[in-house]
Amino acid sequence: MASKVPAAYQATKESALNVDKAFYDRLTERYAPRQLVETHTVPIRDGLAWSVPAGHVFRVKITEGSQVGDFNMWNLNNPRERMWASRTRQLQRAHVSTYDRLWSTLPYLRPMATIIDDTLANYGEDSEGGRVHDLLGTRCDPYVNRLLTGEDFDFHCHSNLVRAVEPWGLTEFDVHDVLNIFQCTGLNDDDQYFMKACPARQGDHLEFFAEIDLLCALSCCPGGDLSVDLWGPEARDPLETCHPLGVEVYSLEKERLAGWQSPQPAPYKGRHGRQLSEVNWVEIKKNK
């Protein structure tokens, strides 16, 4: 049963949470002339990193069969600024779609990318409580696999992302919580995380507008479409469910971006109470 409790984080009139939907609609393939500038293929059980200039569009798509992808993102010019999955989950929702924004970590806290098109936007909530494009969970990793099975496996999403970003000068410490693209998840009656078979089919895609210069990385999940249990008594190798993923990067006509500016980092001055004036100290003492 859906809760009627209002969201904790609500936008004021001038908030960056209030998205100009008409502007982003004009950037989609249906309305905006665009030029394909790059294409990539992420092989099965592997990862790939690529850059996207601000003001460009990039698309992650199903090229063959159903497949889940684990996505990371950084400021291309300052990788200390990276996607903040948990804050995005709070500011937007636990399963993102069209007009949702992916936010960066503190002290920057700004939209890094905005979703402008989603062929699964109408999936909604299924009969088991599953939704797609998941921010509830995170990437599979060899450390948890060792914990659960006692065995080593080197091609989890975490490891795929580590290999993908190394040519860009990043390391395992830079890999972070992910957006699970095309992944269908939810919480069961015991408030436990579940994953189900991916509903995406050939031709489905999720499309983003780059608000700043980005370095992106995507792992083609070794769990494939997640129709096979990865752990537990029914677990087996899901190799036959694995398929590659496609990535496309597009440039847009400058006229389409009229009035748009790349968002600046959060304007908070960052004092954190360390530079209180004498007047403020007086007020604090009065209130003690």
Q: What is the pLDDT of residues 66-95, one digit of tens each?
A: 999 999 999 999 999 999 999 999 999 999
List the structure tokens of 129: 């409580």
* Count of CA atoms in the C-beta half-sphere (13 A) of 221: 29
Answer whether 144's CB lies under 8 Å from 202's CB: no
Answer whether 225's CB lies under 8 Å from 65's CB: yes
- Cis omega before residue 222 (within 30°)? no
- Mean pLDDT is lowest, of 131-145, 245-259, 274-288, for 274-288
* Residue given tokens 């200390």 in the structure block: 80
Average pLDDT over residues 211-221: 98
pLDDT for the residue numbered 198: 96
AA letter at 143: Y
* Residue 181: strand pairing partners: 69
| Residue 142 C-alpha from the chain's centroid | 21
* Mean per-residue pLDDT of the chain: 92
Average pLDDT over residues 139-153: 86
Enter the pTM of the model: 0.91
Return d(Cα 245, Cα 62) in angstroms, integer. 6
With a cut of 70, say whether residue 193 has pLDDT above it. yes
H helix intervals, the chain: 21-25, 85-91, 142-149, 157-165, 278-286
With a cut of 80, say whether residue 218 has pLDDT above it. yes
Angle, nearest 10°, between helix axes 157-165 and 142-149? Answer: 150
